[in-house]
A = this chain, B = another copy of it.
Amino acid sequence: MTPEQFRSNGHALIDWIANYIEGVERYPVNSRAQPGDIRASLPEHPPMAAEPFADVLADLDRVVMPGITHWQHPRFFAYFPANNGYASILGELAAAGLGVQGMSWVTSPACTELETLMMDWMQEALALPDRFRSTDARGGGVIQGSASEATLVSILAARWRATNGAVNTTGDTSKLVAYATAQAHSSIEKGLRLAGIGTAHLRIVAHDNSFAMVPADFASLVDADRLAGLVPFWVCGTVGTTSSMAFDPIGAIGDTARQNSIWLHVDAAMSGIAALAPEYRWVNEGLELADSYCTNPHKWMGVNFDCDLFYTADRAALLGALSILPEYLRSAAAESGAAIDYRDWQIPLGRRFRALKLWFTIRDGGIGEAIEMIRAHVSLTQDLATWVAADDRFEIVAPHPLNLLCLRLVAGDAATDALIAAANDTGVALFTRTVLDGKVACRVSVGGRATGQLDVRAAWQLLQDVAG
């Protein structure tokens, strides 16, 4: 492709994307494809010779579209929001065009410094504790690809601190014990497993009927483990669980954690962004006791995946766990302490210029635009809750202070399963099934950038219709 062809093909693709997003409602929300359909519509062997780009673009419609479940559809109420603003798409494009590696400060200083500034901007906008700011040499923040990675690096930092760094040499984790509720994200168990903390050393802390951790149970499990000669080292508190958006009592968990030198990680991937709006800053409760924290602009702030904000108040432990310095990566700037090398804050070595999409998004809309969107989604969710509560066939099964509503049919699990399947089969809207304390529930996650009152009304109408 010549530079001139790139210009014309690029303009065409920009227009294609605008047409796609503006017209996404013409598609069923979820793909109708069966396993193997998409592959069957493409050649089995790679081409040796060049093909016209117009053919590739045409295949986006012919081949790819039938296999897309439309996360940008205004009636996508499944999983979690992935609202994808126009400015963010352009930020990703700019990063791809520059094609720099941000593994070290010296490999492109702007990639590191803009990221550090964005982390500090977000600390301020979210009103997070100052100890997470990069201007505090003991703390700081970094963009991770996902909350899964944020969780894993927090486990690794905690593991390092609990063993005074010995784990790097010995690999011995045999005394370490971790804590979370059954409502915590699957990446907790996965991260622990990867770090060599088997499930036998993960304690499932009790939750209450709002699906939030019972701090007294956490404290008594810790006591029992200490009596048994074990070393409680890491606890995860969740700010908005995936299944029902429950809120663990971070302050109470943090008190026990601090008394026992346990690393407190707060996973606010789902709901932390709510703190942009002053009236929802209660989601930050107890954060002054956290050793690490993450939240996802790629869920609820219009930034396209991947953009997870990870903060720690213990930079030394993070670097102790993750630093490696081969000869070919040495640099004077980093060795002087004047520069951050973000490769030592994450699992992989390489890194994209992800700060651009956050910067583009914040400047294009201001923080104000994100606040407006959050308020609208919460308001729509509360409207929906009112309608559901007025229909005797349905019940609401969990608190819903923000933008997720979990409901089920009073008729029971089988009826609720059938409800979800029938609703999703229509392609009019998409929901996710979950199980809460043994009961099947339908999650309605309200977070699309384009989702408005008509969409929530249509979703509720659909659920009422298929409920029969």
Segment among A114-122, A206-214, A215-223 that sits at the interface with chain B? A114-122
Docked complex Cα distance between A56 and B365 (Å): 12
Shortest C-beta distance, A111 to chain B (Å), equals 8
Segment among A164-172, A256-264, A377-385 that sits at the interface with chain B? A164-172
A120: nearest chain-B partner, CB-CB? B44
* Residues in B neighbouring A194, C-beta threshold 8 A: 152, 156, 194-195, 347
Indicate whether A444 reaches chain B with its CB closer than 8 angstroms: no
A124 in contact with B46 (CB, 8 Å)? yes
The residue that A363 contacts in the complex, of B56, B87, B110, B201, with Cβ under 8 A, is: B56
The residue that A174 contacts in the complex, of B45, B171, B306, with Cβ under 8 A, is: B171
Size of chain A's interface in residues, with CB distance under 8 A?
151
B366 in contact with A48 (CB, 8 Å)? yes
* Residues in B neighbouring A468, C-beta threshold 8 A: none
Shortest C-beta distance, A11 to chain B (Å), equals 5
The residue that A6 contacts in the complex, of B18, B47, B99, B168, with Cβ under 8 A, is: B18
A68 in contact with B100 (CB, 8 Å)? yes
Indicate whether A461 reaches chain B with its CB closer than 8 angstroms: no
Residues 81-121 of chain A, each 1 if its beta carbon lies under 8 Å from chain B, else 0: 01011111110111011111100011111110110110011
A146 in contact with B350 (CB, 8 Å)? yes
Can you list 18 A-B pairs, Cβ within 8 angstroms, ordered by A?
A: A1-B85, A11-B11, A13-B90, A13-B97, A14-B14, A14-B93, A16-B97, A35-B105, A35-B336, A42-B114, A46-B122, A50-B365, A55-B363, A64-B98, A64-B356, A67-B108, A149-B347, A194-B195
Q: State whether A306 and B350 are in contact (beta carbons under 8 Å apart), knowing that A50-B368, A109-B33, A327-B434 are contacts in the complex.
A: yes
Segment among A182-190, A225-233, A309-317, A389-397 that sits at the interface with chain B? A182-190
B196 in contact with A109 (CB, 8 Å)? no
A369: nearest chain-B partner, CB-CB? B50
Docked complex Cα distance between A60 and B359 (Å): 11
Indicate whether A243 reaches chain B with its CB closer than 8 angstroms: yes
* Residues in B neighbouring A193, C-beta threshold 8 A: 167-168, 171, 321
Docked complex Cα distance between A144 and B44 (Å): 22
* Residues in B neighbouring A21, C-beta threshold 8 A: 3, 97
B117 in contact with A42 (CB, 8 Å)? yes
A5 in contact with B86 (CB, 8 Å)? yes
Shortest C-beta distance, A320 to chain B (Å), equals 11
The residue that A304 contacts in the complex, of B45, B55, B99, with Cβ under 8 A, is: B99
Docked complex Cα distance between A69 and B108 (Å): 5
* Residues in B neighbouring A70, C-beta threshold 8 A: 100
* Residues in B neighbouring A306, C-beta threshold 8 A: 350, 352
* Residues in B neighbouring A365, C-beta threshold 8 A: 1, 50
The residue that A347 contacts in the complex, of B347, B356, B359, B443, with Cβ under 8 A, is: B347
